[in-house]
Structure 1
Amino acid sequence: MHVGDIFTDRAGLPDLPDLPDRRLLDTSLVHRREGGHRLPALVWDAGPGWRMLSSGVLGGGLGSRSYVVNAQVPGGYRRTDPRDHLAEIARAAGLRGHGVGLMTAADVTNAAFAADGGVEAVATVGIGRPTWAAAPSDLDEARLGHARAAGGTESIRPGTINIIVAVPVPLSDAALVNALSTATEAKVQAVMEAGFACTGTASDAICLAVRSETGTEPPASFGGPRSRWGARIARAVHAAVRTGALRDARRTTTARGL
């Protein structure tokens, strides 16, 4: 199965107003036809001058990256080549160079945006399967793989929280790792405040983008929750994820007719 027509109208997200604080994450939506579905992807065509640390299946790890694509897929997604699939979506959307690709069954048109002191964050939130990070071993990856092979439903509806963060200054490698931990802590705080008894979902992913070093200023050395940039990252991620989680809770309540 290949990506069909891409609608590259680059429409802005209806719920992401053109706020004065929104200077870095100039995200847009593209749509594609695939397997009988019309599916959106959230795209940030960042351009040069960025280092990104990501857990994404495409472009994961640490390196220079020029774009991020957060692609929505059907809830019963079963392709075994997600890296190639994301690269295909990125090419079809006109993205070039090395980038990061994330995937979710959550509705990316409901992305939530927040900013704090120059840091910007956007989150797509679906918590259909709330998960504690430390859980009994019968819920581990091997068991889920067995369920998939047996035609079970363990992996059919994976709620996912995908987070993209942009920081307007360079961070050292150590500060980047620290900041990623800070962002994850903020995510957990947000979902719990929104009423979910979990640390997230089993398929959550994140991309933390910082400016590349130019030699004109030293990179920030710290990314913890009480450092200058870590605190801003925490507040932006917390606000975006909390907004998205509350929306997800309302959708769940409405779907159940409560």
Structure 2
Amino acid sequence: MVSFRLEHEARALVWEVPDGWVALGSASVGGGLTHPRWVSNLDVGDDFRRTDLAAYAAERSAGLGLAGPGTTLLTAADVRQVEHAEVEGVRCWATVGVTKPTWPVPPGGSQHGDAAPQGTRTMGEHPGPAHHGPPSPGTINLVVAAPVPLSVSALVQAVGTITEAKAQVLVQADVPGTGTASDAVVVLCPDPSRSDGAAEAFAGVRSVWGRRVAAAVHATVAAGLTAHPWRPGGSGRPGVVW
């Protein structure tokens, strides 16, 4: 099973991934369908401006003693505030920051909410010229580990389930958005090609494993949002939602 630790001084979360596991992730560094030996979630601070993300991730990974292929998530939220939940074998970890909630299609058809690759601007920072002052943390990063092999299709379904569960929490909490412009997710499970049993074919919201994934994500994001709720005008410009 995946092991987890918090590196306080390095401001990082690290997951050690067993040999023979597979991941599907949306991270800009080490994302896609991969066989990582580790996953990290790095606190970059609220003044992060670097765009050489692979080089930056390599520097931080070396400092953490991480070797081999891996996946790196970035956030301006304090990673020490990580939340965790487990539902019937599915484990979920989340760092939750919603200072800059975002709708997929911004109200009025504005395209100002379009997201660049994660980390190319500070975690949800508005790209338009109207934004002034220091940006605030605003990223929801999720790492989910399932104990059973999932087919590639089921991994994709799991990403959709995770996204829906996260969005449900935000809607239920009256947050004006379904996430932030820089959210990322990683799903981990044993590689079906190296398993003796058949892979699970489904992970949608009404499948057995999808239901468990959704419940774990919902509980984790809800805990993070309760601890650090969204407040209108938190960006310094009341009523403005990117």
Instruction: Give the letter aligned to residue 227 of structure 1.
Output: S
From 227, 232, 247, the equivalent of 2:227 is: 247
From 203, 206, 216, the equivalent of 1:236 is: 216
Query: Which fold has the larger relative contact order, with Cα–Cα distance below 8 Å and residues 6 or more apart in sequence?
Result: 2
Aligned-residue offset at 1:26: 2.7
TM-score, normalising length from structure 2?
Answer: 0.84
In structure 1, runs of 5+ residues without a counterpart are: 1-23, 33-38
- Answer yes or no: is 1:139 the counterpart of 2:112: yes
From 177, 193, 203, the equivalent of 2:172 is: 193
Secondary structure of 2:105's match?
Answer: coil
Which deviates more from structure 2 when the two are superposed, residues 132-141 or residues 171-180?
Answer: 132-141
Report % sequence identity.
Answer: 40
RMSD: 2.7
From 11, 28, 39, the equivalent of 2:5 is: 28
Aligned-residue offset at 1:141: 3.7
Instruction: Give the letter aligned to residue 139 of structure 1.
Output: H
Alignment of 1:201-212 (within 5 A): 201-212=180-191
Alignment of 1:91-110 (within 5 A): 91-110=62-81
Aligned-residue offset at 1:157: 2.9
Question: Contact between 1:193 and 1:242, CA under 8 Å: does it hold in 2?
Answer: no
TM-score, normalising length from structure 1?
Answer: 0.79
Secondary structure of 1:249's match?
Answer: coil
Question: Contact between 1:58 and 1:87, CA under 8 Å: does it hold in 2?
Answer: no
Moved over 6 A (4+): 142-145
In structure 2, runs of 5+ residues without a counterpart are: 236-242
Aligned residue number for residue 240 of structure 2: none
Question: Contact between 1:158 and 1:201, CA under 8 Å: does it hold in 2?
Answer: no
Question: Contact between 2:112 and 2:127, CA under 8 Å: does it hold in 1?
Answer: no
Question: Contact between 2:85 and 2:93, CA under 8 Å: does it hold in 1?
Answer: yes
**In the superposition, relative to structure 1, how do residues 217 and 242 fare at CA in structure 2: closer, same or farther (>3 Å)?**
same
Question: Contact between 2:113 and 2:181, CA under 8 Å: does it hold in 1?
Answer: no
Alignment of 1:151-166 (within 5 A): 152-153=131-132, 156-166=135-145
